[in-house]
Amino acid sequence: MKNKFDEFYFENDTNYPANVYWDLYDKNHMEAIKKYDGRMFCPLCKLAPLTVAKGNQRRYFKVIESDMEKHDIECSYRHKKATKKETRNFYKDLDATDIRNRLVSCLNEMLKSAQKDTNNGNLLMRGEKHGKKIFLDIKGASGENKYLPHKNFNSKNLEEDMDIQKIYYGKCALYIYKYGPKDEIIMYYLKVLDENSKKQICEISISPNVYNYLSVELADIPEDRNKSLNYYLCFSGILEKDKYSYKCKLKDSRLMVLEKE
């Protein structure tokens, strides 16, 4: 089982997309190695150590075979990734409560910094449990456990397997563009920007019908790019490459959750 990770958990802080490592590596590879190598772990269970694969065509993190047993027993990365057909069947038989719970769990577990123990308010250290993390798990065609395709949209390798529906998540800045006359909006475009550079990562098109179900959650998002606000965002869909970034059509209001940073 050779999962390639494009994000990592760093010590007792939070998850980072791969570009945090590679941007520093390209500037000063010795500094990146000194700071991160040997101190990065599985972004889900935060236990299995990640090894860096470096090379012209090899830029990713992996868990070597001898470290596979260091994953938490419930970690989804002990399993294989669901195939395109298995993924398609999962979304075809979508359950409203199930998918929303999965996206909320993804937002909390993969994006937020170290969480507090609900019993005593102390920060949980690496490896300490704060609930099951099986929000990515599904049953494969033959009944075995698989995990849903997913990706941090800040990882800068969004073109991989673009024809497969994935759960996308990340910290970003958001603003919304309303297309059409004010009294009859034809389409809403949620613009997803890099929180630092404000460069557009992707846009999510939302029909008026779907928007009606999300109007309360989207009400505070500004229409001015210069006033964009930072959010945690998690959505599921199929990305397409646009001229300047990527685009995704939100087919169902249950396929997106967001929270102001």
What residue has token string 């006033």?
227
**How long, in residues, is the chain?**
261
Sequence-separated (6 or more) residues with CB below 8 Å from residue 55: none
Residue 133 lies in a domain: no
Number of domains in the chain: 2
- Contact (Cβ atoms closer than 8 angstroms) between residue 106 and residue 150: yes
Residue 147 lies in a domain: no
Please check the confidence at residue 118 and state whether its pLDDT lies above 70: no
DSSP state of 253: G
Instruction: Give the span between the Cα atoms of 252 and 213, in whole angstroms.
Output: 9
**Can you give the pLDDT at residue 14?**
84
Q: What's the pLDDT tens digit per position in 36-54?
A: 999 999 999 999 999 998 8
State the CATH number of the domain containing residue 250.
2.40.50.140
Instruction: Give the span between the Cα atoms of 148 and 135, in whole angstroms.
Output: 9
Sequence-separated (6 or more) residues with CB below 8 Å from residue 105: 133, 135
**Domain housing 235:** 158-260
Q: What's the pTM value of the predicted model, to 2 decimals?
A: 0.89
Confidence of residue 130 (pLDDT cuts 50, 70, 90): very low
Residue that wins the pLDDT comparison between 219 and 129: 219
